[in-house]
Amino acid sequence: MKLSEVGERKLLKEVRRLFPQAPWVEVGIGDDGAVLKPLKEKLVVCSDMLASSRDLPKGVDLFYLGWKAVISNLSDLAGMGARPIALLFSLGFPSELERREAERVLRGIKEASSLYGVPVVGGDFSGCEEVVVSGTGIGAVKRALLRKGASPGDLLALTGEVGKAAAGLEILRRRKRGYTELVRSFLQPRARVREGRALAEGGATSAIDLSDGLAQALWRL
């Protein structure tokens, strides 16, 4: 069944079923806006957008677009040392998209957000020429890590390996078989949330998310 035959109301019902709310969410999916209970910490807000034509090789399950949209936002929060507390997603779907494909996007968002225990509290649907997932992440932090805190002589460190996701993307583009670990690094990356919080609490001077590459990150620091 195509989305044009389903209607937004039925799709919203499916979204409500998929995404339960957390204790700190007073009003979640279904109203004009989400209501979060007040926190003692500072709020960190970030946003990331993914499009199927740009961020996912042709023919790859749309589940991974939803997954990567969650991780992109959580990685930005992690880069500032924040504890994620909520996510919102605006979804653009072509009217001729099959319902099961739209549900795969939602399932990717569901599984990735559940992995980190972060509730999805709202968003929107709209027609679009391709599948687009625009996310907003909200986090809480006592002392945010910024890009501008680094000084000459500081120790530079990475929390993981670099280059594996790029290699995985190239493998998918060339339709090579095998290399499961590299392909997974691209399709199902992880956010360094725990590491980011430890750095913020441990007195690190600055931090940055590496989703745009190591060279770009070093230049920005």
pLDDT in tens, 128-186: 999 999 999 999 999 999 988 888 888 888 888 889 999 999 999 999 988 999 999 99
Sign for the CA dihedral angle at 62, 29, 119, 203 comes to positive
Given this model, what pLDDT does residue 61 score? 98
Long-range contact list for 19-27, CB < 8 A, 24+ apart? Answer: 19/110, 19/113, 19/119, 19/120, 20/119, 21/119, 21/121, 22/85, 22/86, 22/117, 22/119, 24/85, 25/86, 25/119, 25/121
Long-range contact list for 168-175, CB < 8 A, 24+ apart? Answer: 169/57, 172/57, 172/60, 173/57
Given this model, what pLDDT does residue 193 score? 95
Is 11's pLDDT higher than 90? Answer: no
Q: Kindly report the average pLDDT of the chain as a whole number.
A: 92
Contact status, residue 85 vs residue 139, Cβ threshold 8 Å: yes
Is 121's pLDDT higher than 90? Answer: yes
Given this model, what pLDDT does residue 118 score? 97
Is 98's pLDDT higher than 80? Answer: yes
Please give the radius of gyration of the chain, using alpha carbons only, rounded to the nearest integer.
18
Quick: pLDDT tens for 23-53: 889 998 888 899 998 889 999 999 999 999 9
Given this model, what pLDDT does residue 186 score? 96
In terms of pLDDT, which residue wins out, 4 or 198? 198
Is 206's pLDDT higher than 80? Answer: yes
Given this model, what pLDDT does residue 76 score? 95
Contact status, residue 170 vs residue 104, Cβ threshold 8 Å: no
Q: What is the pTM of this model?
A: 0.90
Given this model, what pLDDT does residue 218 score? 82
- CATH 3.30.1330.10 is held by the domain 10-216: yes
In terms of pLDDT, which residue wins out, 29 or 69? 69
Q: Which of 35-44, 50-59, 77-86, 204-213 is the least confident region?
A: 204-213
